[in-house]
């Protein structure tokens, strides 16, 4: 850790190195660069939290500054994440203490929230009180909570990203679906998942919401056909979703469009939680510049 901070410090302050050479050489340990983003992860012991700890620790210009959870208190964040070396950052259940420590250093910080819908508002508010912006990835968060957070962030001039997904591939799939929806009259969403929880998935719901209300009515021939085998209609524009559940099956989302003489299919497969890390790192880098709340990772692409 000390070596990485030393290198970052040298790069950041290289232009003034000659002027302050004597001071630098006399110091036994350089302070971390002020451009380094200190990241606090809430929900650190969840699978996504453990993966995020490793990703943040390896990302250029970032430093894990806190791991918050009610489980595994006192264990090293690096060890629970399967890293080869300990990070000397213990898992704590005291967000205030960690935020206070970052605020004292006047460093740029971001809180990444993987917690629960009921705690998101308080976590973002607490982070803002210490001058830290937030990235929120809590798929079951209510839109009413997002509205309340938006009003708070606007008043406090603090940044927050609420992301229905952190997968760049999923965002690109949704954007492609919006573009295609203007050219086809029939569309159906087919998803596969290894377990039956939360179906239709948030991805399917988000896609349906994105391509609805675009002045298009889909599947006119069977909009009133209520046979359950035809899938669930999401919204009022005839978008159907079919959810297939088989243990061991990879998570996959396909969007099938059809027009006269052709079928156009978009598909996104997810093999593990690593797919969320590039989007998370991007979100952390971008959210520090925000002064309000934005909804959706696509705003950063």
Tell me what percent of the residues of the chain surpass a pLDDT of 90: 67
| Per-residue pLDDT, 17 | 39
Overall average pLDDT of the 36-40 stretch: 97
| Per-residue pLDDT, 45 | 97
CATH T-level topology, domain 35-161+273-293 = Rossmann fold (3.40.50)
Distances (CA, A) of 33 to 22, 37, 120, 179, 212: 18, 9, 30, 43, 46
Q: At what angle do helices 168-181 and 277-287 cross, to 10 degrees?
A: 90
- Read off the tokens for 108: 């740029």
The answer to whether residue 14 scores a pLDDT higher than 50 is no
The answer to whether residue 156 scores a pLDDT higher than 60 is yes
CB-based contacts of 85, cutoff 8 Å, min separation 6? 78
Could you write out the DSSP letters of every residue in 237-267?
TTEEEEEEE-TTPPEEEEEEEEETTEEEEEE
**Domains in the chain: boundaries:** 35-161+273-293, 167-269
| Per-residue pLDDT, 44 | 98
- Asked whether this chain's domains 35-161+273-293 and 167-269 adopt the same fold, the reply is no
| Per-residue pLDDT, 10 | 34
The answer to whether residue 73 scores a pLDDT higher than 50 is yes
CATH T-level topology, domain 167-269 = Dihydrodipicolinate Reductase; domain 2 (3.30.360)
| Per-residue pLDDT, 223 | 60
> Average pLDDT of the chain?
86
**pTM for this entry:** 0.82
Query: Which tens digits make up the pLDDT trace of 112-124?
Result: 999 999 999 999 9
């Amino acid at each position: 850790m000390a070596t990485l901070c030393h290198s970052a410090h040298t790069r950041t302050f290289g232009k003034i190195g000659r002027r302050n050479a004597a001071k630098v050489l006399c110091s036994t340990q350089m302070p971390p660069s002020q451009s380094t983003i200190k990241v606090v992860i809430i929900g650190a012991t969840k699978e996504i939290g453990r993966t995020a700890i490793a990703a943040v620790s390896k990302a250029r210009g970032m430093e894990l500054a806190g791991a918050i959870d009610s489980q595994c208190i006192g264990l090293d964040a690096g060890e629970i994440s399967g890293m080869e070396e300990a990070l000397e950052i213990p898992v704590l259940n005291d967000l205030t203490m960690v935020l206070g420590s970052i605020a004292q250093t006047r460093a740029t910080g971001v809180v990444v929230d993987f917690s629960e819908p009921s705690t998101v508002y308080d976590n973002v508010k607490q982070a803002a009180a210490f001058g830290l912006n937030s990235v929120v990835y809590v798929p079951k968060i209510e839109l009413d909570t997002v509205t309340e957070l938006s009003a708070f962030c606007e008043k406090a001039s603090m940044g927050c990203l609420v992301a229905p997904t952190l997968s760049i591939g999923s965002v690109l799939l949704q954007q492609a679906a919006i573009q295609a929806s203007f050219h086809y009259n029939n569309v159906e969403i087919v998803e596969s998942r290894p377990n039956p929880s939360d179906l239709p998935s948030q991805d399917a719901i988000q896609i349906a919401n994105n391509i609805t209300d675009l002045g298009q009515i889909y599947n006119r021939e069977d909009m009133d056909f209520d046979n359950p085998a035809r899938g669930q209609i999401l919204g009022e524009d005839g978008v159907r979703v079919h959810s297939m559940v088989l243990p061991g099956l990879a998570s996959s989302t396909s969007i099938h469009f059809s027009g006269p003489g052709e079928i156009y299919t978009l598909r996104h497969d997810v093999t593990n939680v690593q797919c969320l890390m590039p989007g998370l790192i991007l979100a952390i880098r971008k959210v520090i510049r925000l002064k309000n709340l934005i909804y959706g990772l696509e705003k950063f692409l």
